[in-house]
């Protein structure tokens, strides 16, 4: 084994890990046996919200704390499984009263507030499809997703609605109901909206009349591709099985645990682990309305007695900056397991965590399309800092090389790179991209789902992430499609062409940088740069918009006129240019037209 | 440095990170994040630029105090060189 290995002593406190003997678990694991941990399969039905809430509310855990909500300021609010059942029943009733049919899309655009959990779980109970949206998106990505998904209902709040969607409502003819989840219902209702909490108080808390099966679509998660519009990955209720198994084995959640997932609810982690998985195990979910704030987070970990904490590398790296200022090592007596996801976690962060918390961070890997954790560093196994870990029992992972006519050949040697692939039989894999069967089919070959991530596997079987096979930008744990960024820039009258790439960033892994050429009559300069940055931020939101814009005389293009982002990236990072056949490189393309900058 | 000058510097620094900010509509009492989109990396860059501009060191534990315009002014008046 490699020298760079963290071998863990047996934990001095808390229960033993759920997974102790990894090899034995891999050998004996079967999904059909694992499904016995679910309730709904008995009657041939399966519903994520039933597994997360109703089964516990019907049994001994009815009064167990399901959700503790920490508002930005003020006292925490607690919801038992029984209370969560009542509220989600009301929401499902409300959808029925609004005429929402099974399989129709309900979009949720909220931060971490109680209405998020009620709407998400109530939507699933009603058999409608939940589409979580990211509140930091600007109007353009939001409208695109609402319109592609054909959303019938949007649950949001007055501030977000006013700022991002009210002016664009005419672009969304299919959106019939906008429900505003503000605590103060009476406060000046906006036109064409309704007050969620008033409606919920009037709706009957009776069990939903709709039944769902394992293959009915439950979730619609948008993710970004290299070209074209965002892709709507659809997940079936069957994914709940892998959500539960992975939460037990990879996150080591026990039923008596307090679990804190810091992911934004607009992304897949915020749904799979920020809502569903821990509830299916009957654990307590902690949610904090506040945005990332290192000092608050440390006191939450301690004060709320968090046992299992699932966070992101960007957050960890920002907390590392605090380390020097912390008075002394703060004790976290209840914390037992820390995991991280979204982008590769650098080894320094794993070592820092050992000093700061007395525990290493367990990196794991999955993506929107896989629906649940696929590869992880496990509680009972040594950690290789910087590695994604080993496949979850029941998950077969491989490295493949693509050949002609959709053929693939396995990479069998250790430490040789290939495209990471997951055996297509894994129950949580997505069931399609909404309205794009061909794009979906292109992801599969020879019984494998090809992830678009390039990795290597070492002699011990640990996987190591190397990069994306395409031009998608990985920033703060989110995939950003360069096409969406470029489209927004092209809407500015000055911009002739645009190319967006990810450049390395110490905190966010990558940040978006855009290269633009200007139409005639426009002059490159600091004022225009600021104007373009502002234009992009207003349309796309802070997380998607470029952080840098550089002016170019020309951009490198293929003969058919497509911008070659990989070349922009190679020039930017001083990397080899690679195969240039088919690329038209005007000598001017690598020349900057940037005037000198003054900070 | 008087409050007006300090306020101009804060707004200018904020706009260097988030050029979409409409300085005229900035409510000094409300948190920046409630008024426009600014992610955690933007916020960190804002603080780092303020440090350079005013030649001060903001302890990380005090970052939350800089989350609104009035919070910035209060903190900077107490810490920035005259």
Whether pLDDT at A323 is above 80: no
Å between A28 CA and nearest CA of chain B: 44
Interface contacts (A, B; CB < 8 Å): 59
Query: Which range (A349-353, A535-539, A584-588) has the least confidence?
Result: A584-588
Q: Which of A314, A502, A537, A539 to mutate to test the interface with B (most CBs of B within 10 A)?
A: A537
Question: Averaged over A92-113, what is the pLDDT?
Answer: 97
pLDDT tens for A21-80 read: 999 999 999 999 999 889 875 567 899 999 999 999 999 999 999 999 999 999 999 999
* DSSP designation for A345: P
pLDDT computed for residue B79 by the predictor: 87
Å between A163 CA and nearest CA of chain B: 9
Question: Averaged over B50-74, what is the pLDDT?
Answer: 92
pLDDT computed for residue A6 by the predictor: 79
Nearest residue to A321 via CA among B61, B65, B78: B61
* Residues of chain B numbered 12-51 and touching chain A (CB < 8 Å): 15-16, 18-20, 33-34, 37-42, 44
In angstroms, the CA A476 to CA A505 distance is 10
Could you tell me which residues are beta bridge partners of residue A499? Answer: A515
Å between B62 CA and nearest CA of chain A: 9
Q: Render the burial of A542-568: b for 16+ CB within 10 Å, e for the rest.
A: bbbbbbebbbbebbbbeeeeebbbbbb
Instruction: Give CA separation, A296 vs A37, A258, A299, A403, in Å.
Output: 36, 17, 5, 50
Q: Token digits for A571? A: 């020039």
Whether pLDDT at A3 is above 50: no
pLDDT computed for residue A324 by the predictor: 63
- Inter-chain residue contact B41 with A294, CB threshold 8 Å: no
pLDDT computed for residue A330 by the predictor: 60
Q: Does A294 touch chain B (CB under 8 A)?
A: yes
pLDDT tens for A196-223 read: 999 999 999 999 889 999 999 999 999 9
Query: Which range (A202-206, A273-277, A303-307, B20-24) has the least confidence?
Result: B20-24
Q: Between A12 and A260, name the one with better pLDDT.
A: A260
Secondary structure, 3-state, A254-323 = CCCCEEEECCCCCCHHHHHHHHHHHHHCCCEEEEECCCCCHHHHHHHHHHCCCCEEEECHHHHHHHHCCH
ipTM at complex level: 0.90
Tell me if A22-457 shares its fold with A473-590.
no
- Inter-chain residue contact B44 with A505, CB threshold 8 Å: no
Å between B49 CA and nearest CA of chain A: 9
Instruction: Give CA separation, A589 vs A494, A541, A583, A592, in Å.
Output: 18, 29, 12, 8
Do the Cβ atoms of A15 and A308 come closer than 8 Å? Answer: no
Instruction: Give CA separation, A88 vs A205, A379, A393, A474, in Å.
Output: 8, 34, 33, 34
In angstroms, the CA A152 to CA A101 distance is 9
On chain A, the residues whose CB falls within 8 A of the CB of B58 are none
| Residue positions counted in chain A | 599
CATH of domain A22-457: 3.40.50.12780
- Residues A282, A286, A292, A297: what is their CA dihedral angle, to the nearest 10 degrees? -110
Q: What is the domain-level CATH number for residue B23?
A: 1.10.1200.10
**Interacting residues of A594 by C-beta distance below 8 A, sequence separation 6+:** A524, A550, A551
Question: Averaged over A421-434, what is the pLDDT?
Answer: 97
- Inter-chain residue contact B38 with A138, CB threshold 8 Å: no
pLDDT computed for residue A228 by the predictor: 75
Query: Which range (A44-48, A159-163, A201-205, A586-590) has the least confidence?
Result: A586-590
Burial of A285 by CB count in 10 Å (0-12 exposed, 13-18 middle, 19+ buried)?
buried
- Inter-chain residue contact A322 with B18, CB threshold 8 Å: no
In angstroms, the CA B38 to CA B40 distance is 7
Q: What is the DSSP string of A181-233?
A: --S-TTS-PPTT-EEHHHHHHHS-----S----TTSEEEEEEE--SSSSPEEE
Q: Does A546 touch chain B (CB under 8 A)?
A: no
Do the Cβ atoms of A138 and A545 come closer than 8 Å? Answer: yes
On chain B, the residues whose CB falls within 8 A of the CB of A542 are 18, 37-39, 42
Å between A17 CA and nearest CA of chain B: 34
Residue B32: CB atoms within 10 A of its CB come to 22
Q: Does A25 touch chain B (CB under 8 A)?
A: no
pLDDT computed for residue A599 by the predictor: 39
Q: Token digits for A497? A: 């062409």
Supply the range of the domain harboring residue B62: 3-79
A473-590 homologous superfamily: ANL, C-terminal domain (3.30.300.30)
Query: Which range (A100-104, A427-431, A483-487) has the least confidence?
Result: A483-487
In angstroms, the CA A33 to CA A360 distance is 31
Could you give the number of structural domains in chain B? 1
Query: Which range (A102-106, A184-188, A196-200) has the least confidence?
Result: A184-188
What residue segments make up the domains of chain A, in order of their start? 22-457, 473-590
Question: Averaged over A550-571, what is the pLDDT?
Answer: 88
Q: Which of A292, A315, A530 sits opposite B19 (nearest CB)?
A: A530
Whether pLDDT at A186 is above 70: no
Phi-psi sector, A284: left (phi>0), alpha (psi -120 to 50), beta? beta
Whether pLDDT at A2 is above 50: no
**Interacting residues of A42 by C-beta distance below 8 A, sequence separation 6+:** none
- Inter-chain residue contact A295 with B33, CB threshold 8 Å: no
Mean pLDDT over the full length of chain A: 91
Q: Does B60 touch chain A (CB under 8 A)?
A: yes
- Inter-chain residue contact B19 with A531, CB threshold 8 Å: yes
Burial of A166 by CB count in 10 Å (0-12 exposed, 13-18 middle, 19+ buried)?
middle
Whole-number CA gyration radius for chain B? 11
Do the Cβ atoms of A414 and A457 come closer than 8 Å? Answer: yes
On chain B, the residues whose CB falls within 8 A of the CB of A547 are 41
pLDDT computed for residue A9 by the predictor: 60
- Inter-chain residue contact B40 with A537, CB threshold 8 Å: no
* DSSP designation for A52: I
| Residue positions counted in chain B | 82
Question: Averaged over A183-191, what is the pLDDT?
Answer: 71
């Amino acid at each position: 084994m490699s020298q760079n290995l963290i071998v863990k002593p047996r934990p001095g406190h808390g229960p033993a890990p759920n997974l102790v003997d990894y090899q034995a678990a891999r050998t004996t694991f079967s999904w059909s046996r694992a499904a016995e941990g679910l309730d709904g399969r008995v009657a041939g039905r399966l519903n994520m919200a039933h597994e997360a809430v109703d089964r516990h509310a019907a049994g001994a855990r009815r009064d167990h704390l399901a959700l503790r909500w920490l508002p930005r300021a003020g006292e925490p609010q607690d919801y038992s499984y029984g209370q969560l059942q009542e509220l989600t029943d009301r929401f499902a009733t409300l959808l029925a009263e609004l005429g929402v049919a099974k399989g129709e899309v309900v979009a949720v655009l909220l931060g971490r507030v109680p209405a998020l959990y009620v709407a998400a779980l109530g939507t699933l109970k009603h058999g409608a499809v939940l589409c979580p949206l990211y509140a930091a998106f600007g109007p353009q990505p939001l409208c695109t997703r609402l319109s592609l998904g054909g959303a019938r209902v949007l649950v949001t709040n007055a501030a977000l609605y006013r700022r991002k969607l009210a002016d664009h409502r005419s672009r969304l003819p299919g959106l019939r109901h906008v429900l505003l989840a503000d605590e103060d219902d009476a406060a000046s209702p906006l036109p064409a909206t309704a007050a969620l909490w008033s409606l919920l108080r009037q709706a009957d808390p009776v069990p939903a009349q709709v039944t769902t099966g394992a293959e009915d679509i439950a979730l619609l998660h948008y993710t970004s591709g290299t070209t074209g519009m965002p892709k709507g990955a659809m997940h079936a209720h069957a994914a709940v099985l892998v959500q539960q198994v992975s939460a037990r084995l990879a996150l080591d959640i026990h039923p008596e645990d307090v679990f804190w997932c810091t992911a934004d609810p607009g992304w897949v982690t915020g749904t799979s682990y920020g809502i569903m998985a821990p509830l299916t195990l009957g654990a307590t979910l902690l949610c904090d309305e506040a945005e990332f704030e290192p000092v608050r987070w440390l006191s939450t970990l301690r004060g709320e007695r968090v046992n299992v904490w699932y966070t992101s590398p960007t957050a960890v790296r920002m907390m590392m900056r605090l380390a020097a200022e912390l008075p002394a090592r703060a004790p976290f007596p209840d914390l037992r397991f820390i995991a991280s996801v979204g982008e590769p976690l650098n080894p320094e962060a794993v070592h820092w965590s050992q000093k700061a918390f007395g525990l290493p961070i367990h990196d794991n890997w999955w993506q929107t399309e896989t629906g649940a954790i696929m590869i992880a560093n496990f509680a009972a196994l040594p950690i290789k800092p910087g590695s994604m870990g080993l496949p979850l029992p029941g998950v077969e992972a491989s490295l493949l090389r693509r050949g002609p006519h959709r053929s693939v050949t396995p990479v069998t040697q250790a430490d040789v790179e290939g495209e990471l692939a997951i055996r297509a039989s894994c129950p949580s894999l997505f069931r399609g991209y909404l309205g794009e069967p061909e794009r979906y089919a292109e992801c599969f070959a020879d019984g494998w789902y090809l992830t678009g991530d390039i990795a290597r596997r070492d002699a011990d079987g640990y996987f190591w992430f190397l990069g994306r096979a395409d031009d998608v930008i990985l920033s703060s744990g989110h995939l950003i499609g360069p096409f969406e960024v470029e489209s927004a820039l092209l809407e500015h009258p000055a911009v002739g062409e645009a190319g967006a790439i990810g450049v390395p960033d110490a905190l966010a892994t990558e940040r978006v940088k855009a290269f633009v050429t200007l139409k005639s009559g426009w002059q490159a300069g600091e004022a225009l740069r600021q104007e373009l940055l502002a234009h992009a931020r207003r349309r796309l939101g802070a997380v998607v918009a470029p952080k840098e814009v550089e002016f170019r005389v020309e951009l490198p293009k293929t003969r058919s006129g497509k911008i070659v982002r990989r070349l922009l990236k190679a020039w930017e990072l001083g990397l080899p240019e690679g195969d240039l056949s088919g690329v038209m490189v005007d000598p001017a393309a690598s020349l900057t037209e940037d005037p000198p900058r003054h900070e | 440095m008087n409050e007006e000058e300090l306020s101009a510097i804060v707004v200018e620094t904020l706009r260097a990170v988030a050029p979409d900010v409409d300085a005229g509509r900035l409510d000094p009492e409300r948190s920046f994040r409630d008024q426009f989109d600014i992610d955690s990396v933007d916020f960190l860059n804002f603080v780092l630029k303020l440090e350079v501009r005013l030649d001060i060191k903001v302890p990380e534990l005090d970052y939350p105090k800089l989350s609104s315009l009035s919070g910035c002014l209060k903190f900077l008046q107490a810490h920035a060189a005259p």
